[in-house]
Amino acid sequence: MSEHQDHPEQTTNPEKTTNPEGAESPEELTHLRTGHIKTKAVGLPAVISSFRHVFSEAGIIRSLKALSKVNQKGGFDCPSCAWPDPDDERSGLAEYCENGAKAVAEEITTKKLTPNFFAGNSVAALSELSDYSLGEQGRIAQPMFLPKGATHYQPISWDEAFTHIATTLNSLTSPDEAIFYTSGRTSNEAAFLYQLFARAFGTNNLPDCSNMCHESSGVALTETLGLGKGSVTLEDLHQAEVIIIMGQNPGTNAPRMLTALEKAKKNGARIISVNPLPETGLMAFRNPQQVGGILGNATPLTDLFLQIKINGDMALLQAIELMLWLDEEQAPGTVFDHTFIRQHTEGYDAFIKHLGRSSLPELSEACGIDIRQIGEAATMLKDKKKIIICWAMGLTQHKNAVDTIKEVVNLLLLKGSIGKPGAGTCPVRGHSNVQGDRTVGIWERPTKKFLDSIQQTFGFDPPRKHGFDVVNAIKAMHGGSGKVFFAMGGNFLSATPDTTYTAEALRRCRLTVHVSTKLNRSHLVHGEEAIILPCLARSDKDPLNGEDQFVTCENSMGVVQSSKGMLQPVSPHLLSEPVIVCRLAKATLGNHHFIDWDKYLRHYDAIRDDIEKTIPGFEGYNKRVRQPGGFYLPNAPRQGAFTTPSEKAQFSIVHAETTPLAPGELMMMTIRSHDQFNTTIYGMNDRYRGIYNERRVVFLNEEDMREQDLQKGDVVDLSSNYDGVKRTAHRFLVVPYPIPKTCAAAYYPETNVLVPIDSVADKSNTPVSKLVIIRVVKQSSF
């Protein structure tokens, strides 16, 4: 039995006053309609979907005004994904994708939640709504407070809210009893002030959404190359000879990436896609900015699709490397870049010795790809040097995620494919400033160099003890040592693993606070007291002392650029995130520190000036960020330099393993639908996969279905049993799908309840959401 001994069974329906997942009756499940899996992505359907969402939320004039400025120079940064904008000319028609338009629609909506809404809807009643319905209610229009024992949120003034939070924080026995979480939406300016406030308060408890997504990438890339970021630029993708896309679905999660892949294809690149599911966006792309794309003409993207078993990535990479090595042995110096290896790397001989002991048949069995297809991949790479490997959550959310990404680096090092045009690493970040937040100090494990810089700039010695990441923050709250939870954006409950356990953790807090634009599940599963602080969105005007301010964001490829809203906010009672942090800091810290919070309240240039003083790479920040398109941060691997202790890139020796399954067990990965961005649900359809009107579905291999006597449309429960704790997600509909045998897939956050809090990646501590061992238990049919 695990540490959850007092909760031997966890389900999606705990007997609580508020349901952590929302209710759904069995009758509602019968609305499912399935269709054919689409073979081409985007095109006219995406355009229609985009405009339908935006116009329905904000009307034509407000919508067009916003869309005309999304991702444009001088406009505002899309609140959706972190895909980079072109350095040169940007499309005057539309520099956004379908999901970007949906994200904009969410925040520019004219619907708003006033005190009357909260007076008429109890927390318990709201908790029975689906995530989709919660998001549909509108923007939160004023600060709201839920006193201890109350059933309804009630209005509170900003001054009262800051005073209440400050009083609670200052009553803690230790600053480490407070937890300050950050979502990737937070701007550089707000994130820098937020971490400064937390450290001035006395804690490094700064978990963020990186802990749940690309933390594994950061660890692996830092240990092997010296920098926890990708090395490529958008132009590199255009110049690549081969692009390998692993564990990623760009058609849904980063649709603008398809334009870059199309350009690469037209320049002669070949694309290898590696994924357990066939994803429409990687098969063919109908460019909506071209007449042919609107008419249905598509550019084929994937040249070779390798449909691996779940977590077969490392075995596949090693199999490819083994075949390349065998070719190198036959013709020395023709396959591997020995000049690069000799001058820029360490560990090659030990790596080759390890690789030589591998068995190609065993690796083929482990990844689920036959040797012939592995050979095709090796042949495509054999004579090429301009190779880029892209990846996302399909690699980062496994127990061996760090080692798998190190294997990605091994392959690139063998080919000398880092630090040259058209080659390198490309971890595709999910949220639009998640990388920037880490750059400016949102990290529970800050370096000594960073903390020393804080001390030098601001005159106080910040705490040196490492803080809680997301998983450890949840455990601290559950165990009673985390008493105040403050979230700068995001939907913490729905984004995190082990929903029932996390809900229990939040409920054990003395106070939970959320800086938010819209209502979400985390407002309804709360501590003894709860406060919602409504903030401005990216598209909102942000006037300060008579001048509209702008903030800055960093995209996946290290470009820092400005973001300036231009719409009138839906309520006069909203504050920007930087202002919220400054006013909270003043209320909490008083005169305990010599940080001049008032100067930041006069103009955001003052924030950027202090970022420049504190963090290398931001020299001339205020001047350079005002240049159209912004500026690139330093990236040593991009230049062929490696800031490891030896100043050389590191080969790694890692071991491919398989997951043992008992009869009836399956490996399940959590996935997004097309009508979804992270935890935000835009609708009930997943049109590329042929799913309509329903989210509680589980995709199964047809042979597995026959073995377990399951039919399409059967209602089933999904259960996992980890370290003696049984977790159950109720009422899912079976959908047959082309997925490898013994593999399954289902949407999150509905299946987060199955992800154990103790199942984490080695080194990064990222929840293992892409490999949950489950059983499927049949309930009924219709």
- Spatial separation of the C-alpha atoms in residues 700 and 219, rounded to whole Å: 33
CB-based contact 694:675 (threshold 8 Å): no
- Spatial separation of the C-alpha atoms in residues 334 and 262, rounded to whole Å: 29
Partner residues linked to 273 by β-bridges: 245, 305
Q: What is the pTM of this model?
A: 0.95
The per-residue DSSP string of 399-426 comes to TTHHHHHHHHHHHHHHTT-SSSTT-EEE
| Edge-to-edge order in the sheet of strand 529-534 | 154-155, 144-146, 529-534, 511-516, 484-488, 178-182
Degrees, nearest 5: CA angle 154-155-161: 110
Phi, psi of 515 (to 5 degrees): -90, 115
CB-based contact 538:79 (threshold 8 Å): yes
Gap between the terminal Cα atoms of the chain:
37
* Residue 42: both structure tokens together: 């985007």
With a cut of 70, which residues of the chain have pLDDT below it?
Answer: 1-19, 21-30, 89-94, 780-782
763: Cα within 13 Å, side-chain hemisphere? 18
- Spatial separation of the C-alpha atoms in residues 383 and 378, rounded to whole Å: 9
CB-based contact 347:650 (threshold 8 Å): yes
Q: What pLDDT shows up at residue 92? A: 58
Length, in residues, of the chain = 782
Partner residues linked to 387 by β-bridges: 242
> Count of CB atoms within 10 A of residue 1's CB?
9
Peptide bond preceding 749 in cis form (omega within 30 of 0): yes
> Count of CB atoms within 10 A of residue 27's CB?
8
**H-only helix segments in 185-286:** 188-201, 215-225, 234-239, 250-253, 257-266, 280-283
- Spatial separation of the C-alpha atoms in residues 389 and 246, rounded to whole Å: 7
- Spatial separation of the C-alpha atoms in residues 358 and 354, rounded to whole Å: 7
- Running DSSP on this structure, what letter comes out for residue 589? H
CB-based contact 174:562 (threshold 8 Å): no
Residue indicated by tokens 């080194």: 763
* pLDDT tens track for 553-577: 999 999 999 999 999 999 999 999 9
* Residue 107: both structure tokens together: 């925040």
- Spatial separation of the C-alpha atoms in residues 419 and 142, rounded to whole Å: 49
- Spatial separation of the C-alpha atoms in residues 374 and 385, rounded to whole Å: 18
Phi, psi of 779 (to 5 degrees): -110, -60
Phi, psi of 459 (to 5 degrees): 80, 20
Partner residues linked to 531 by β-bridges: 145, 513
Give Dmax over CA atoms of the chain in angstroms: 77
* Residue 782: both structure tokens together: 């219709």
